[in-house]
Amino acid sequence: MINLNAALDLPLNKRKLLKIQFFNALNQTVYSNVQRMNSEKNLTFALLEYRNNTLYLSGQHEQMIVVRENGHLEQIDTIDLGFPIGLEEDITNFIAQIQLPLNAGDVVILYTDGITEAENLEKEHYGLKRLCDIVSHNRQRSAEDIKQAIVDDVRQYIGGQKIFDDMALLVLKHKPVTLPLLH
């Protein structure tokens, strides 16, 4: 935790370098396991910097959903953010990221395809549109309540169907931190 806090207090150019080094170190840790298991993995890395109300995102996976406090919905495509985690020993040259400014009340959703591809009794997928609708409808609620609304809706949608894929969900609701004024 001390190292992370120190990294966040560095100038922006040094923090960017540390993020790249972090990804590369993470990759090197995963690399030997991926080679041993002969299995590739996706990874999304999100870093929220409270000082500048910005979410940094890197790594290719599902679209990130952002619902602004005013109700405007954004779907952030991560296709160009992918990097070959565990496939190459050094991925420094492959790492890309986006910066997403956040305001009070904004909601961010990260999820796995087990949610959007969950099937009902008719073998129809739950889908991204339905997920976005649930998030939009519940955006004024707490992150915990939004998460529960999604979980309840997915469970209701699939009914008694057996779940074959993992489901992971992260709900963030931005509450800016008031930092003390320096005199």
User: What is the amino acid identity at position 146?
Assistant: I
What is the tens place of the pLDDT at every residue in 49-107? 878 899 888 777 788 999 999 999 999 988 777 665 666 777 777 777 888 999 999 99
- pLDDT for residue 153 is more than 90: yes
What average pLDDT score do residues 126-142 get?
98
Tokens linked to 111: 């999820």
Looking at per-residue pLDDT, the higher value among 91 and 141 belongs to 141
**In the predicted structure, residue 173 carries a pLDDT above the cut 80:** yes
Question: What is residue 6's predicted lDDT score, i.e. its pLDDT?
Answer: 35
- Answer yes or no: pTM beyond 0.85: no
Two tokens, residue 55:
């979410």
Residue 149 clears pLDDT 90, i.e. is over it: yes
Question: What is the DSSP annotation of the chain?
Answer: -HHHHHHHTS-HHHHHHHHHHHHHHHHHHHHHHHHHHT------EEEEEGGGTEEEEES-SSPEEEE-TTS-EEEE--GGG---TTTSS--GGG---EEEE--TT-EEEEE-HHHHT-B-TT--B--HHHHHHHHHHTTTS-HHHHHHHHHHHHHHHHTTPPP-S---EEEEE-----PPPP-
> Going from the N-terminus, what domains does the chain have, and what CATH number goes with each?
2-173 (3.60.40.10)
**What confidence tens digit (pLDDT) does each residue in 18-50 have?**
667 776 777 677 776 666 766 666 667 777 887
